[in-house]
Amino acid sequence: MSRNPYTITAMFLTLIILLTLGSCGSGSDSLHILTDKKEMASVVEVFDASTDDLSVTMSYVEAIDITMIESEDPDLVIGDYLSSSDLIDIWEGYDASASTYPALDQPLLTPLSFELPLIMGEKDSMNTLPDRAVVSPEELREAASEWTIIGDDGVPSRVGFSPTWNPATFVDLLLLRYPESLRIGLENLDEAKLDEVVEETRSWVAEATGGPETDDLFNGRYRYIPDEYLILEGRIRFARTDFDSIARMPDSITNRLSFRYLTGPRHIPVLAVTAAGIPENSDNPKAAQRFIDWIVKPETQTTLIDRWEQDGIDIFGFLGGLSAISSVNNTIIVDRFPAMKGMIPENYYLNAPSMLPNRWFRIKAEVLAPWFEESIESPNSTTSLTDSYRKWDLSSLDEAD
């Protein structure tokens, strides 16, 4: 859907929203929420209209970590990656008795929404794939290979797909080929398994564009406009995308595209879960529980999705992803985003890690992507992912000091 963007530009800006719900008298209860979701401002406003005995403050930050939680001292936290190793032991735990996907269950947390890896293409091209909802790396690679045309100068003039175009693809392939990697920790990875993932990616790039050098030349020559336009021009056939990107595309574009989840033999990797957690030192856990009970109701989520649309906020589905409640996905989300029709996954397809590495949101961008890029471009590189992670971990600790 095409709407006006809702943005906050200041890095690590803390947005404080004080809403007095009903009476401000000394008898009113209070609740302080910490979140990394800008659209939660509208959520708090809607909650305001539903009660008259609670005052709510909300702090927005770009990323939630233990330092931020200790600083803000919230009663309730709503955000991504709350099951990271540095946070998993701080939660009090609460059973909201919501009908969420069992695969999304996380210790002491209430799942609200989740993100999956997406491949997009023009409808006719996507219809050539074997399944209407999912595509494996092997199927994607085969369908893309027949699209490539090499120009007289050795640079492709048309490419089906390259895994280097979006760094998120590296994470996708790691989770698909080595799903236990997050559970065992980046400092304990099997280098032989990682080498297999890198070699698969390297050979895919060579098949797609001729190698890293010509891949870069193609990118510099053509990929200065969004992938969805290159797809519709016929310059590329497929591209990696995400829910946020879909939300920002105009209907005139999404109506011509189709989408598939990138999947393994028996699962779709869940990339992120937005959850609600009550810290053990919450000053008002009862109010936090009350807010959770309210936000997990299907009728509440329907109201909020309508509200975001009315406010002109570019956001996909519920809190930027599919709802953790399947009935919401099969009704209002399919209605608001018709491209998702027939693509609401069953629980057995979902594979969500129970715990994530500390600072996972940074590791993906600052460790995994650069290491994959270097390994693909330099086959003789001797730097292991474990070594890269340890070096980054030490430097990040120095930053904190």
Q: Is there a single domain that holds both residue 52 and residue 129?
A: no
Quote the pTM value. Answer: 0.89
Work out the pLDDT band at 399, boundaries 50, 70, 90. Answer: low
Q: Is there a single domain that holds both residue 392 and residue 254?
A: yes
Q: Is residue 64 part of a domain?
A: yes
Q: Is there a single domain that holds both residue 191 and residue 124?
A: yes
Looking at per-residue pLDDT, the higher value among 188 and 253 belongs to 253
**Are 385 and 185 a contacting pair, CB within 8 Å?**
no
String of b and e for 207-227 (b: at least 16 CB within 10 Å)?
A: ebbbebebbebbeeebbeeeb
Strands 53-60 and 149-150: unpaired
Q: Is there a single domain that holds both residue 195 and residue 231?
A: yes
The owner of tokens 């906020």 is 313
Q: Is residue 354 part of a domain?
A: no
Q: Is residue 10 part of a domain?
A: no
pLDDT reading at 317 higher than 80: yes
Q: What mean pLDDT comes out for the span 249-257?
A: 94
pLDDT digits (tens, 9 = 90+) for 113-139: 999 999 999 999 999 999 999 999 999
- Distance between CA atoms of residues 383 and 364, nearest Å: 17
Q: Is there a single domain that holds both residue 197 and residue 305?
A: no
Q: What mean pLDDT comes out for the span 44-56?
A: 87
Q: Is residue 62 part of a domain?
A: yes
Residue 53: CATH number of its domain: 3.40.190.10
Q: What is the pLDDT of residue 104?
A: 93
pLDDT reading at 3 higher than 50: no
Work out the pLDDT band at 356, boundaries 50, 70, 90. Answer: confident
pLDDT digits (tens, 9 = 90+) for 206-242: 999 999 999 999 999 999 999 999 999 999 999 999 9
CA dihedral 382, 175, 146, 237 (to 10 degrees): -110
pLDDT digits (tens, 9 = 90+) for 14-38: 444 444 333 343 345 899 999 999 9
Residue 177 belongs to domain spanning: 118-269+359-400
Q: Is residue 222 part of a domain?
A: yes
Q: Give the residue from 302, 318, 345 where a domain finishes.
A: 345
String of b and e for 330-364 (b: at least 16 CB within 10 Å)?
A: ebbbbebbebbeebbbeeebbbbbebbbbbbbebb
Query: What's the token pair of residue 11?
Result: 């890095």
Q: Is residue 353 part of a domain?
A: no
Number of domains in the chain: 2
Q: Is there a single domain that holds both residue 47 and residue 151?
A: no
Q: Is there a single domain that holds both residue 173 and residue 290?
A: no
Q: Is there a single domain that holds both residue 243 and residue 364?
A: yes
Q: Is residue 352 part of a domain?
A: no
Q: Is there a single domain that holds both residue 207 and residue 320?
A: no
Q: Is there a single domain that holds both residue 247 and residue 373?
A: yes
Q: What mean pLDDT comes out for the span 57-64?
A: 93
Q: Is residue 259 part of a domain?
A: yes
Q: Is there a single domain that holds both residue 242 and residue 363?
A: yes
Q: Is there a single domain that holds both residue 264 and residue 324?
A: no
